Structure 1
Amino acid sequence: MEASLTSSFFMIFSGAAVLASIALYTRQPLLIAYIALGAIIGPYGTGWVTDLKLLAEIAEFGIIFLLFLLGLDMQPKSLYSTLKKATVVALLSSLAFAAIGFGLAYSFGFNSTESLIIGAAMMFSSTIIGIKLLPTTALHHRYTGELMVGLLLLQDIIAIFVLLILFSMSQGEFSAANLLRTLVALPALIAIAFAVVRFVLLPMLTKFDRFHEYIFLLAIGWCLGMSEAAHSLGLSAEIGAFLAGISLATSPISQYIAINLKPLRDFFLILFFFSLGARFDLSVLADILVPAILLAALILILKPIIFRYLIHSMSETKKLAWDLGFRMGQISEFSLLIAYVAAEMLLIGREASHLIQATAIISFVVSSYIVVFNYPSPIGISDKLRRD
C-alpha cells in the first residue's frame, strides 16, 4: 500500500533529522544524509516511500530556489571583478576535469555522448560543501573566501551553459537549431527581466517595503514567473529562476529576500537530494562501482593538484592554492542535476547516470574528511582547526 503524502513527509523529515545528526557527529555535509535516506527508505531500499514522481516534482522547487538565491548573490560589480581575476583558472580547470571524466568513461565502454556528459559533470566543485566548510570569517572578511566564492560562481555560470546545451539536445541528437533558438531566447528573457525589475518590481518594493509578507510573496512570484517564462521559451525553469535572481541582485532589498527564502530553499533541497538517493538503483551499483571508485579517486587526487598550479600561477601563495584546491576537490550538486536532466531527456543510460551519482557521493564524503582533518572549518576535528 502506497504511503500518503503526509506519511511520506513524516518519514522523510524525521529520518533526515536522525541521519543529519549522525552526519554532523561524523563531520559530513548534511546532503549526504538526505541522499542516504533516499537510498534506505526509497523503492530500491525498504520501499517505505514509493511515490517518487510527485516528490521529484516537488523537489524541483529546491533547485529553482537554489539558483534564484545564487543569482541574488551575484552583484554585477563584484561579478565583473571576479571574472577578470579568475576566468582563466575556471575555464582551464573545467576543461581539464572534463577531459579526465571523458577519458575514463570512454575507456569503460560508454558511448561518446555519455562520456561527454560524464566529463561535463566532473567540471564543477560543490558550492554547498565549499561554503559550508569555509569558516564564516574567511568567507566574509578574507581574500580566501572571496577567491573561492568567485571560482564557484564562475563554475556555476559554466554549469548554466552546460544545462543550456543539454536542453538543446533531444533523444541523444545535438540540434544546432535548438541551440540557436535557445541563444536567441536567452538575451530576450534577460532584457525582459531587467526591464520588469526596473519599471515594475522596484517601484512596488519601494512603495510597500514595510509589508514583509508582500515582499516574500512578490519574490516567490517573480522567481516562479520567470521560471515559467523560461520554460515557455524553450529554456529550463532553473535558468529562468537564475535570471530572476540576477535581475533583482542590484536591489537594496535583495539580501533581505535571500535570507528569508533560505529556509524555503532548504526544505525543497532536502526533498531534491532525498529523491536523488531514492532513484539510485542499488542493483546497478555492481556494474559501475569500479569506474566510480576510479573516477572519484582521479578527481580527488587531480583536482587539488590542478587547482594548486593554476591558482599559484595567479601569483597566489602555495599555501592558499593548496587550501582552495582541497576545498574544491569534489564534484558538485550541479553534477547530480546534470545526471538527472540528461537521464530524463534520454541522453544517457542508467549506468552513466548512476556513475555520476556514485562518483559525486564518494567525492563528497572523502573530500569533506580531507578538509575537516586538515583545514580550518566550522566542524573541524580539533579545537585548533575549528573556526566559525
Structure 2
Amino acid sequence: MAAEASNSDLIQVVALLGAGVIAVPIFKRLGLGSILGYLAAGLAIGPFGLKIFSDSAAILHVAELGVVMFLFIIGLEMQPSRLWGLRKQIFGLGVMQVGVCALLLTGVGFLTGFPVSQSFVAGAGFVLTSTAIVMQILEERGEMSSPNGQRMVSILLLEDLAIVPLLAAVAFLAPVAAGHAETTWATRLIDVGIGLGSILGLVIAGRYLLNPLFRILADSQAREVMTAAALLVVLGSALAMQLGGLSMAMGAFLAGVLLSESTFRHQLEADIEPFRGVLLGLFFLAVGMSLDLRIVAANWQMVAFYVIAYMLIKAFGIYLVARFLKSSHRVALERAVIMAQGGEFAFVLYSSAMAVGIIDGQANAILTAIIIISMVLTPLAIVALRYFTPAVEQTLDGVELAEDLQGSVLVIGFGRFGQIASQPLLLRGIDVSIIDNDVEMIQAAATFGFKVYYGDGTRLDILHTAGAGRSRAVLICVDKGDVAVRIAEHMRAEFPLVPVLARAYDRGIAMDLIQAGVDYQLRETFESALAFGQSTLEKLGVDEEDAAEVIQDVRQRDAARLDAQLAGGLQAGRGFMKGNMPVPAPLTPPRRPGRAMDEGTATVLGQSVTVEGNQN
C-alpha cells in the first residue's frame, strides 16, 4: 500500500512538471505568455480535466509560497531609498487608483442587488491586481524599469499593503454581517494592535538581527546553510505576518526590503530564485486547477456578467486615474488592460470574509471563479490590445530631416560606435554630417551639442538628400548587420566612387560587406578584443614588444583566414562560426626579426596543435 501511495505521489509530481513543460512553450510560441500556459495546464490535469488531482486547494496552499518568494525578490530590489523616491507614486497614484476602483466596483455589486458589506468585499478583492501576473508580464516584456512599469510596480506595492486595512475592514464588518454581537471594540483594537506589533517586530528583527546572522553563517563557508537561512528568513517572515493576522506575502516583502541594502542581497537573491520560479509556476497551475467548472456551469450567466462588468469597470477606473494624472492615452489604455484582472490576494480576502460570515461558501466559489477567469483573460486582452492598437509612431517634433546636407563625411548611425568614430574627424575640423533614425537618440545627442539629422540610410532618396554622392567618405556605423549590408549595396550601386567604411557585427557580416564593395570594414569587437588580449599578456609578464608581436600575428592570421573564406575555400566554415569565432588554425609563436622560430605545441580552442619551424 505504501508503494502504491508513493507511485501515486510520483505520478502527480511528474504530471505537474510535464504539464508545465509542455504547455508553457506552446503558449509562449503562440504569443499568449507563460501564465496562460500554466493556467491551461492546471485546468487540464485538475479535477475537471484528466482528474490527476482531486484536491487543488491543498496544492494552492503550498503554491502560495511562490507568491511569497516572488514578493521577497521584489523587496530585495526595493531599497528604502528607492521606495522613498517612489512614495508619491505609491501613496498618490496607488491610493487614488485603489480608492476609485474600490468605489466603482462596490457600486456594481450594490446596484445589482447585493448588501453593501458583500458588495464591498467582492469589489475590494477584485481591486487587488495579480502581482504575479503583472510582474511576469513586465519582466517578459523588459519593461520593469520603464516609467510606466515603475508606476505599475508602485500601484502593486500599494495594493499589496492594502490587504492589511482590507482584512481589518472584514473584521469590523463581520459582527454586522454575521450577527456576532460578542465581538467588542476592544477585540477589534487588539487584533489591529497584534498586526501592527507583528510589523514592528519584523522591522526590528530585520534591522538588528538579520545582517549579523548572515555574517556568522557566511563565515562558516557552508553554501547549503546560507540557502537554508535564506528560506528561513522568507518563510519565517511570512509566518510571523500570518500569525499576526496579516498577509504572508507582506511579511516576505518587508523582509526583502529590510535586506535590500545588505551586503548579502545578491547571494540571497541567487539562493531564492530557483525556488521562486518553480513555486510561482506551481501557483498558476494550482489556480488553473481551482477553477470549479460545476459552479461556473451552474451560474454561468452571473459569472460571465461579473467578469465582464468588473474588468470593464476596473479598467475604466484605472484609465480615468491615469488620464487625470496626465498619462497619455496609449499609456493609460495599456495600464488599464494589463491591470484589469483580480489577483491572488483576493482569495485570502474572500476566505477571511467567508470565515467570519460575510459571504457563504457558494459565493466564495463564484467570486474565486470570477477572479480566475479574469486572470485567464488578461493575456488574451493584451494580445487583442496589441492587435487593435496601431504601432507607436515616432514624433519628429524638434528633429530636423536630412535634407541638402553638405558635410565632407557622412556618418550613418550615431550610437556608441558612431559617436567614437566621429570624434577624430571632429577634432581635425572635418565637416561631418550625421543621420540616424532613432528620435530619442537624436534628442539626447542634441543635449550634448551634437547636430544629428533624422534619416533612414537604407532609403536611396535619403542617401541622396543627405549628400552621400558629394561626400569624400561615407561611414556606416549602424548596429544591425543586415541594415549595414543594405546601405553598402545602395552605395555601390548609386555612388561607386565614394569611399565607404563600415562597421561589421561579426565575421559573416564582414564578408557580406566586403562582397558589397566597401573599402574598409571592421568587426565591432575585433580591435578592442585584441587590445584586451595584449593587456592580458602584459599583465601575465609577457614583454610589451613580444605581446605586440603576438597581437600582430593574430591580426595577420585573421586577415588571411578572411581572404581564404572569401576565395571560397572556407565558405562552409560560416556554418559553424559563432560571432567573431574563426576556423581553428595552427598558431605560430611570436618572433623577433632575425630570430628563428622553435618547434613546439600551442593550444588553440582547446586543441593541442603542432607549431612548425620557420617557413620563410
Q: Same fold (TM over 0.5)?
A: yes
Partner of 2:346: 335
Partner of 1:81: 85
Q: Computing the radius of gyration over CA atoms, which structure comes out larger, 1 or 2?
A: 2
Give the Cα–Cα distance (whole angstroms) in 2 for the partners of residues 35 and 308 of structure 1. Answer: 27
User: Using a 3 Å threshold, how does the CA distance of structure 1 residues 232 and 301 change in structure 2: closer, same or farther?
Assistant: closer
Once the two structures are superposed, the pairs formed by residues 170-185 of structure 1 within 5 Å of their partners are 173=178, 175=183, 176-185=185-194
Partner of 2:362: 351
CA displacement at 1:294 relative to structure 2: 2.3
Q: Is 1:13 aligned to residue 17 of structure 2?
A: yes
CA displacement at 1:72 relative to structure 2: 2.9
Amino acid of the residue matched to residue 11 of structure 1? A
Partner of 2:103: 99
User: Using a 3 Å threshold, how does the CA distance of structure 1 residues 338 and 288 change in structure 2: closer, same or farther?
Assistant: farther
User: Using a 3 Å threshold, how does the CA distance of structure 1 residues 366 and 114 change in structure 2: closer, same or farther?
Assistant: same
Of 160, 165, 175, the residue aligned with 1:161 is: 165
CA displacement at 1:234 relative to structure 2: 4.4
Q: Is 1:90 aligned to residue 94 of structure 2?
A: yes
Give the Cα–Cα distance (whole angstroms) in 2 for the partners of residues 105 and 81 of structure 1. Answer: 37
The structure richer in strand per residue is 2
Give the Cα–Cα distance (whole angstroms) in 1 for the partners of residues 262 and 354 of structure 2. Answer: 37
User: Using a 3 Å threshold, how does the CA distance of structure 1 residues 231 and 89 change in structure 2: closer, same or farther?
Assistant: closer
Partner of 2:45: 41
User: Using a 3 Å threshold, how does the CA distance of structure 1 residues 138 and 248 change in structure 2: closer, same or farther?
Assistant: same
Q: How big is each residue's C-alpha offset from its partner over 1:187-206, in whole Å with a ceiling of 9 and x where there is no partner?
A: 32333223323332212324
Give the Cα–Cα distance (whole angstroms) in 1 for the partners of residues 242 and 130 of structure 2. Answer: 26
Partner of 1:121: 125
Once the two structures are superposed, the pairs formed by residues 293-308 of structure 1 within 5 Å of their partners are 293-308=304-319
- Is the CA contact (8 Å cut-off) linking 2:28 and 2:37 kept in structure 1? no
- Percent identical across equivalent pairs? 23
Q: Is 1:152 aligned to residue 156 of structure 2?
A: yes
Of 126, 143, 152, the residue aligned with 1:138 is: 143
Partner of 2:597: none
Give the Cα–Cα distance (whole angstroms) in 1 for the partners of residues 172 and 270 of structure 2. Answer: 34
CA displacement at 1:167 relative to structure 2: 6.7
SS at match of 1:122: helix
- Is the CA contact (8 Å cut-off) linking 1:308 and 1:322 kept in structure 2? yes
SS at match of 1:138: coil
- Is the CA contact (8 Å cut-off) linking 2:66 and 2:278 kept in structure 1? yes
Partner of 1:264: 275
- Is the CA contact (8 Å cut-off) linking 2:130 and 2:345 kept in structure 1? yes
User: Using a 3 Å threshold, how does the CA distance of structure 1 residues 291 and 15 change in structure 2: closer, same or farther?
Assistant: same
Amino acid of the residue matched to residue 14 of structure 1? G
- Unaligned 5+ residue runs, structure 2? 394-616
Amino acid of the residue matched to residue 296 of structure 1? V
- Is the CA contact (8 Å cut-off) linking 1:231 and 1:237 kept in structure 2? yes
CA displacement at 1:120 relative to structure 2: 1.0
- Is the CA contact (8 Å cut-off) linking 1:122 and 1:335 kept in structure 2? yes
Using the size of structure 2 for normalisation, the TM-score is 0.54
Partner of 1:22: 26
- Is the CA contact (8 Å cut-off) linking 1:336 and 1:357 kept in structure 2? yes
Of 187, 198, 206, the residue aligned with 2:207 is: 198
Partner of 1:230: 241
Partner of 1:319: 330
CA displacement at 1:371 relative to structure 2: 2.5
Q: How big is each residue's C-alpha offset from its partner over 1:316-374, in whole Å with a ceiling of 9 and x where there is no partner?
A: 33333333233323222323443455456664334322333333333334432332354
Using the size of structure 1 for normalisation, the TM-score is 0.82
Partner of 2:198: 189
Of 207, 215, 223, the residue aligned with 2:226 is: 215
Give the Cα–Cα distance (whole angstroms) in 1 for the partners of residues 377 and 73 of structure 2. Answer: 27
- Unaligned 5+ residue runs, structure 1? none
- Is the CA contact (8 Å cut-off) linking 2:67 and 2:132 kept in structure 1? no
Q: How big is each residue's C-alpha offset from its partner over 1:296-327, in whole Å with a ceiling of 9 and x where there is no partner?
A: 22343333433233223223333333332333
User: Using a 3 Å threshold, how does the CA distance of structure 1 residues 119 and 57 change in structure 2: closer, same or farther?
Assistant: closer
Amino acid of the residue matched to residue 156 of structure 2? L
Give the Cα–Cα distance (whole angstroms) in 1 for the partners of residues 255 and 274 of structure 2. Answer: 19
Q: How big is each residue's C-alpha offset from its partner over 1:98-156, in whole Å with a ceiling of 9 and x where there is no partner?
A: 2343333345555544322211112122323323333655322x322222211221222
CA displacement at 1:223 relative to structure 2: 2.0
Count of residue pairs brought into register by the alignment? 380
Give the Cα–Cα distance (whole angstroms) in 2 for the partners of residues 269 and 21 of structure 1. Answer: 16
Q: CA RMSD in A?
A: 3.5
Point out the more displaced range, 289-298 or 6-15. 289-298
Point out the more displaced range, 93-102 or 116-125. 93-102
User: Using a 3 Å threshold, how does the CA distance of structure 1 residues 89 and 235 change in structure 2: closer, same or farther?
Assistant: closer
Amino acid of the residue matched to residue 262 of structure 1? E
Give the Cα–Cα distance (whole angstroms) in 1 for the partners of residues 193 and 288 of structure 2. Answer: 36
Amino acid of the residue matched to residue 202 of structure 1? N
Higher relative contact order (CA 8 A, sep 6+): 1
Q: Is 1:282 aligned to residue 282 of structure 2?
A: no
User: Using a 3 Å threshold, how does the CA distance of structure 1 residues 162 and 184 change in structure 2: closer, same or farther?
Assistant: same
Give the Cα–Cα distance (whole angstroms) in 2 for the partners of residues 52 and 131 of structure 1. Answer: 24
CA displacement at 1:54 relative to structure 2: 4.5
User: Using a 3 Å threshold, how does the CA distance of structure 1 residues 189 and 224 change in structure 2: closer, same or farther?
Assistant: same
